[in-house]
Structure 1
């Protein structure tokens, strides 16, 4: 992420805060949500979305490779396995995708200049 986007620290902080907040708000009471898998899901989603939002070929190719190698991560956001924090996975991925969309569009706007930016 650091090499392909330059947003490692901002994305990491955002994924931790937003993914953690979503997990905290929706997690079952008296349950334990521990580990860094929400961050891993956030990173994978970030890398998958960023290149397309920023319209950068190299970053988009990185995203496609991540998606091809880790497509099975999609099953982790669904409540199939008892004892697995699917909420952490889901909200980590949503946070990563949302941050990638926001930062990618912002980077594209800065690269092209505001007068050339369309939606």
Structure 2
């Protein structure tokens, strides 16, 4: 009988945290998240499912390399601080748009303003 290897990380869904702490935990808006493209840096929260020495979770940057609708593929742009993880800078990371907690635009001048104007805004 073969057993599946233990995943080295799980990505956090930050939406429930943002809902429970709307004044202290901010996420990019839907316009910004939809605009994420190749070359942009996005911050994700990596949770370690194994026993750790320092951190059960780390927020780290990923460079977006490919976009396939809601699925994005990137490479880790940080060196994890948790000594027990085998995750390394340069590792491929597959994630969904809803995992994004922050964005650094490759071309800030082309970044969306994020402002959505409706009749109710006036």
TM-score under structure 2 normalisation? Answer: 0.28
Higher helix proportion: 1
Which of the pair has more CA radius of gyration?
2
Higher relative contact order (CA 8 A, sep 6+): 1
Higher strand proportion: 2
